[in-house]
């Protein structure tokens, strides 16, 4: 992709980041979704969203969609590749999730607009980035116990947290996307843990995504 085009997209990301609203959730959400994208040999993106009931501890709904991949993989610009198919999936849901956990970053991004943040703006829903790797920031490893976390700072500002979800396992990197703040984001992710590394809505979305990818 031409450098000039990427520079334009960087400016667009900065503009969108200015529109993000970070605020506490009004209450404890019950319906929390997990969103995952995988890629098919056909050149399509497969989007999966699983709505999980935190009180009943079971999956309430699963929706999927496919979309031709029209944007190349470029670190820092993942949302332009994956937001279209995830929007398509969420529009299929009967149950409206109160929060969406996304396999990617929220505001923990060079220009403050990771996949979760961009998706939240597009949908007008609270979103949380739950990433397997850090994109940037300074932090210390949290203690080796479930629920322990340490803050991630970028240029001295708190932008996310490293959360240990299971002892002896690599942590995840949590950052608010839109319509939620970091304390609320951490609380939701912790409530959604069931003994695995990933929070259950995201784990179920990933499992479904891998299952559907198989020929």
Residue 154: both structure tokens together: 């970028």
List the 149-154 sheet strands across, edge first.
Answer: 58-68, 44-53, 31-39, 99-102, 127-131, 172-178, 157-163, 149-154
Mean pLDDT for 21-38 is 97
pLDDT of residue 214: 80
Q: Within a domain: residue 72?
A: yes
Q: What is the pTM of this model?
A: 0.97
The pLDDT tens digits for 59-85 are 999 999 999 999 999 999 999 999 999
Report the C-alpha gap between 43 and 41 in whole angstroms: 5
Domain membership flag for residue 1? no
Q: Which residue has the higher pLDDT, 213 or 49?
A: 49
Q: How confident is the model at residue 202 (pLDDT cuts 50, 70, 90)?
A: very high
Which residue(s) pair with 51 in the sheet?
33, 61
**78-90 and 115-123 are packed helices; what angle lies between their axes, rounded to 10 degrees?**
40
Is the C-alpha dihedral spanning 79, 179, 19, 94 positive or negative? positive
| pLDDT for residue 64 | 98
What pLDDT does residue 213 have? 86
- pLDDT at res. 4: 77
In a domain, 60, yes or no: yes
Give me the pLDDT at residue 90, please. 98
Q: What is the DSSP letter of 80?
A: H
Helices (H) and strands (E) in the chain, counts: 5, 8
DSSP letters spanning 2-31: -HHHHHHHHHHHHHHHTT------SS--SE
Which two tokens mark 201?
């809505």
Tokens linked to 84 = 């279209």
Range of the domain at 84: 27-213
Q: Is the pLDDT of residue 141 over 70?
A: yes
Can you list the positions of beta strands (E) in 16-126? 31-39, 44-53, 58-68, 99-102
Does residue 48 lie in a domain region? yes
Bridge pairing between strands 149-154 and 172-178? unpaired
The count of structural domains within the chain is 1
Q: Does the residue 2 lie in any domain?
A: no
Q: Is the pLDDT of residue 1 over 70?
A: no
Percent of the chain with pLDDT over 70: 99
What's the CATH number where 89 sits?
Answer: 3.30.2170.10
Q: What percent of the chain has pLDDT over 90?
A: 96
108 within domain boundaries: yes
pLDDT at position 2 over 70? no
């Amino acid at each position: 992709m031409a450098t000039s085009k990427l520079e334009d997209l960087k400016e667009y990301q900065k503009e969108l980041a200015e529109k993000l609203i970070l605020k506490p959730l009004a209450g404890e959400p019950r319906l929390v979704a997990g969103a995952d994208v995988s890629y098919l040999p056909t050149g399509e993106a497969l989007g999966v969203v699983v709505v999980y009931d935190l009180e009943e501890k079971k999956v309430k709904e699963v929706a999927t969609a496919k979309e031709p991949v029209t944007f190349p993989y470029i670190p820092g610009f993942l949302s332009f590749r994956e937001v279209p198919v995830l929007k398509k999936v969420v529009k299929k849901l009967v149950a409206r999730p109160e929060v969406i956990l996304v396999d990617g970053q929220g505001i923990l991004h060079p220009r403050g607009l990771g996949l979760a943040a961009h998706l939240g703006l597009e949908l007008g829903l609270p979103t949380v980035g739950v990433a397997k790797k850090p994109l940037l920031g300074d932090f210390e490893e949290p203690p080796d116990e479930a629920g322990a976390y340490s803050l991630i700072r970028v240029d001295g500002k708190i932008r996310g947290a490293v959360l240990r979800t299971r002892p002896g396992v690599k942590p995840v990197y949590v950052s608010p996307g839109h319509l939620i703040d970091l304390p609320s984001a951490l609380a939701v992710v912790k409530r959604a843990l069931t003994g695995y590394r990933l929070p259950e809505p995201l784990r179920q979305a990933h499992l479904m995504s891998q299952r559907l990818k198989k020929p």
